């Protein structure tokens, strides 16, 4: 599913984010930048040890923050590590918005043209997928309608049910 905003594309795909060929993919990271399970584990396995080594040098970031490393052996040249909230820690919606926006800004700061996001915080961090879709899509649409060098933002969703939630939400966002 594709939608255009200001000559920029917002795309939804179902698949494996580690296979995306955008300039950067976003890792749903923890604050310590340890590539453990879920999306981070898949990135570690496919991208190789160089990504974790770079993360170790950076040391970490705050919840809602984002940092960038090389993409190792991935098709994407870069990985943006965005730290989303754990359910129950407080201010989760604001923190997820910030993780999304900080990732987009980091892509712009590095003159990237395309970026792929997973559904941040919906795995072991327990964030509800519907709320995630609302927050991440709204933040991204608002960003794309402003001044940016980004040409394409992809939400790469793992599993058909997550894709359906994002597709329905994107339809609602674009019919306002």
Residue 38: predicted pLDDT: 86
Q: How are the residues of the chain apportioned to helix, strand and coil, as percentages rounded to the nearest 5?
A: 40, 20, 40
Residues 151-176 pLDDT 10s: 999 999 999 999 999 999 999 999 87
Q: What pLDDT shows up at residue 5?
A: 85
What is the chain's length?
Answer: 176
pLDDT of residue 47: 96
Give 45-78 pLDDT, tens digit per residue: 999 999 999 999 999 999 999 999 999 999 999 9
Q: pLDDT-derived band of residue 107, with 50, 70 and 90 as boundaries?
A: very high
Domain 2-174 has CATH 2.60.40.10: no
pLDDT given at position 163: 98
Give the burial class of 89: count Cβ atoms within 10 A of its Cβ; 0-12 exposed, 13-18 middle, 19 or more buried: exposed
**For the whole model, what pTM was predicted?**
0.96
Is 4 a residue whose pLDDT tops 80?
Answer: yes
Domain boundaries, the chain: 2-174
**Bridge partner residues of 25 (DSSP):** 79, 116
Element (H, E) at 169: helix 160-174
142: Cβ contacts below 8 Å, ≥ 6 apart: none
pLDDT at 6: 80
Give the residue with greater pLDDT, 36 vs 138: 138
Average pLDDT, the chain: 96
> Which two structure tokens, joined as six digits, stand for 24?
């950067």
Give yes or no for a contact between 107 and 80, defined as CB atoms under 8 angstroms apart. yes
């Amino acid at each position: 599913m594709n939608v255009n905003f200001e000559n920029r594309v917002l795309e939804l795909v179902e698949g494996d984010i580690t296979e995306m060929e955008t300039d950067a993919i976003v890792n749903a990271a923890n604050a310590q930048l340890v590539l453990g399970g879920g999306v981070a584990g898949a990135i570690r396995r496919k991208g190789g040890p160089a990504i974790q080594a770079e993360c170790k040098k950076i040391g970490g970031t705050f919840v809602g923050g984002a940092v960038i490393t090389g993409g190792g052996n991935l098709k994407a040249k870069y990985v943006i590590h965005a730290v989303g909230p754990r359910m129950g820690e407080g201010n989760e919606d604001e923190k997820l918005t910030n993780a999304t926006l900080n990732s987009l800004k980091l892509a712009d700061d590095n003159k990237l043209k395309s970026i792929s996001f997973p559904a941040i915080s919906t795995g072991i961090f327990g964030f509800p997928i519907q709320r995630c879709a609302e927050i991440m899509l709204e933040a991204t649409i608002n960003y794309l309608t402003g001044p940016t060098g980004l040409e394409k933002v992809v939400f790469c969703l793992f599993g058909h049910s997550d894709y359906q939630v994002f597709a329905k939400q994107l339809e609602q966002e674009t019919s306002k």
